């Protein structure tokens, strides 16, 4: 076996700096694959990079292909995929000329509809193993450093903890506090590819708090993941404590395909990670954290019960008042001349993403009001949704407890208006 190539910084280059987008707590980086410019989620929970079934307009050439089966999270069957060797990956100036990847052929396996921008794949371990990766969630910048020359910050606000890397996945130890019990030690997968806060697995030590509700937790490689959503009094990582942290307990069925959860108690996703600026050091097994301005933000709950996704495109006719107006001055002898303002009304057809209700929680305010899966969302509180990003619409639908939300939807060619009040499931009156 030759020396594994891996990702490399060009000789004598300073650390590579990359701007990323943060969408739904996920880090999205520009990645070039065999010359095609693509967008990847930076997912510390994934081994080899995975490329999704690409949209018709995007194409990328991949090399040396063979068929395989992947098992992952979710309640469905294992999925068929292609394995491909010898691909050239480039992130800024960092390059790997011989990257292996998997291509998922299932069209449904695709994060783009839920994030509202094209996502072509996910990459994790292969980038983390070769660099010290500094993630600044505040400035949305990634810095990849050469492990041999990296100098750790001396600032006292940084705290360094052991990071255990097993089977290409990184784990950190912490503690959770429940109402009745303190200090239960937990080993958590550090999962920047999850937009959620904390997931825990039920065991003798860790029981599900009484105050909980059933919820859709997300999409795994093998289908949908459901579970109980609740909160813990605190999550402690090093000396940092996050209070009233949002926690979900995924149903056992979601993990039926994964045999070796080992001694792992759950995972810590983007809604927790983004509260820190983080230095990932896989080569030396260290995780360094510093609180950022998001640290004390309240955790986001879906109070409406609506899940949304992009579903194709629709035409919208908009009337545009052309407010420039035309001033005509007919040169006559009277002092003011004859001033005429002309306004033109024009109609423009634009192609906008169609936003549909992809899931709805039983017993939630939206469901009680009568909204159903498959409904097309046209407007929220009088604002037409097609000018907003998916995450902004989600925010409008879940703004704050006690707020009344009016949603205009289209169902079977008729427009219906629904109205409901947002409620936090944890403050139910007995």
Task: Please give the pLDDT value at position 261.
Answer: 56
Under a CB-based contact definition with an 8 Å cutoff, are residues 127 and 7 in contact?
A: yes
Q: What pLDDT is stored for residue 387 in this prediction?
A: 75
User: What is the structure's pLDDT at 208?
Assistant: 81
Does residue 76 have a pLDDT over 80? no
**Does the pLDDT at position 391 exceed 60?**
yes
Predicted pLDDT at 273: 92
Strand 276-281's sheet: what is its strand order?
A: 16-19, 141-145, 132-136, 276-281, 286-291, 159-162
- pLDDT bucket at 328, cuts 50 / 70 / 90: very low
Most confident of 143-147, 225-229, 338-342: 143-147
Residue 423 Cα distances to 40, 150, 191, angstroms: 35, 48, 29
Higher pLDDT, 113 or 39: 39
Residue 319's pLDDT band (cuts 50, 70, 90): very low
Element (H, E) at 125: helix 125-128
E strands, 151-269, where?
Answer: 159-162, 164-166, 169-177, 184-190, 198-200, 213-220, 223-237, 240-250, 266-268
pLDDT digits (tens, 9 = 90+) for 334-387: 333 334 443 444 444 555 567 788 888 888 888 888 888 888 888 888 888 777
The model's confidence at residue 330, banded by pLDDT at 50, 70 and 90, is very low
- What is the pLDDT averaged over residues 115-121? 75
| Residue among 289, 217, 278 at smallest CA distance from 246 | 217
pTM: predicted TM-score of the whole model, two decimal places: 0.78
DSSP output for 347-397: EEEEEEEEEEEEEE-TTSHHHHHT--TTPEEEEETTEEGGGS-HHHHHHHH
Q: How confident is the model at residue 329 (pLDDT cuts 50, 70, 90)?
A: very low
Residue 420, pLDDT > 60, answer: yes
Higher-pLDDT residue of 289 and 180 is 289
Residue 115 has pLDDT above 70, yes or no: no
Does residue 264 surpass a pLDDT of 80? no
Q: What value does the mean pLDDT of the chain take?
A: 76
Compute the half-sphere exposure of residue 63: CA atoms within 13 Å on the CB side of its CA: 12
Answer yes or no: is pLDDT of 236 > 70.
Answer: yes
DSSP three-state, residue 149:
coil
- The 10s digit of each residue's pLDDT in 171-204 is 999 888 887 677 888 888 888 888 888 888 877 7
- pLDDT of residue 325 exceeding 50, the answer is no
What pLDDT was estimated at residue 63?
A: 67
* Model confidence band, residue 262 (pLDDT cutoffs 50, 70, 90): low
Residue 152 pLDDT > 70, yes or no? Answer: yes
| pLDDT value, residue 332 | 39
What three-state secondary structure class fits 34? coil
The encoded tokens of residue 29 equal: 């980086």
**Predicted pLDDT at 109:** 61
For the chain, percent of residues with pLDDT exceeding 90: 7
Count CB-CB contacts under 10 A for residue 350. 12
- Are the C-beta atoms of 306 and 371 separated by less than 8 Å? yes
**What pLDDT score was predicted for residue 407?**
87
- Say how far apart CA 270 and CA 115 lie, in whole Å: 14
């Amino acid at each position: 076996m030759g020396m594994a190539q891996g990702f490399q910084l060009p000789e004598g280059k300073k650390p590579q700096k990359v701007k990323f987008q943060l969408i739904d707590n996920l880090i999205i980086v520009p990645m070039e694959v065999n010359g095609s410019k693509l967008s990847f989620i930076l997912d510390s929970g994934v081994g080899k990079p995975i490329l999704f079934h690409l949209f018709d307009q995007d194409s990328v050439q991949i090399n040396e292909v063979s068929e395989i089966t992947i098992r992952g999270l979710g309640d469905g069957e294992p999925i068929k995929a292609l394995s491909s060797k010898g691909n050239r990956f480039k992130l800024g100036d960092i390059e790997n000329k011989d990257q292996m990847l998997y291509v998922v052929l299932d069209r449904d396996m695709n994060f783009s509809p839920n994030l509202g921008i094209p996502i072509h794949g996910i990459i994790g371990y292969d980038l983390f193993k070769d660099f010290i990766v500094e993630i600044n969630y505040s400035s949305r910048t990634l810095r990849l450093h050469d492990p041999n020359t990296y100098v750790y910050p001396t600032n006292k606000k940084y705290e360094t903890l052991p990071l255990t890397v097993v089977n290409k996945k990184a784990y950190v130890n912490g503690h959770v506090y429940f109402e009745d019990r303190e200090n239960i030690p937990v080993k958590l997968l550090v999962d920047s590819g999850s937009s959620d806060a904390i997931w825990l697995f039920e065991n003798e030590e860790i029981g599900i708090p009484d105050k909980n509700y059933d919820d859709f937790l997300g999409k795994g490689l093998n289908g949908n993941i459901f579970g109980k959503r609740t909160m813990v009094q605190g999550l402690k990582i090093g000396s940092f404590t996050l209070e009233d942290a949002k926690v979900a307990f995924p149903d056992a069925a979601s993990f039926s395909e994964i045999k070796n959860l080992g001694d792992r108690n759950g995972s810590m996703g983007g809604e927790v990670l983004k509260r820190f600026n983080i230095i990932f050091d896989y080569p030396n097994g260290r995780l360094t954290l510093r609180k950022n301005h998001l640290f004390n933000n309240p955790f986001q709950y879906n109070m409406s019960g609506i899940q949304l996704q992009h579903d194709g495109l629709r035409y919208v006719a908009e009337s545009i008042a052309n407010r420039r107006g035309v001033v005509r001055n007919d040169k006559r002898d009277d002092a003011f001349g004859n001033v005429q303002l002309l306004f033109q009304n024009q109609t423009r057809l634009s192609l906008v993403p169609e936003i549909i209700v992809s899931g709805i929680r039983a017993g939630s305010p939206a469901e009680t009001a009568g909204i159903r899966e498959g409904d097309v969302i046209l407007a929220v509180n009088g604002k037409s949704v097609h000018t907003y990003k998916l995450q902004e619409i989600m925010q409008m639908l879940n703004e704050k407890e006690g707020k009344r939300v009016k949603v205009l939807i289209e169902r079977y060619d008729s427009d219906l208006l629904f109205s409901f009040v947002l409620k936090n499931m944890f403050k139910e009156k007995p």
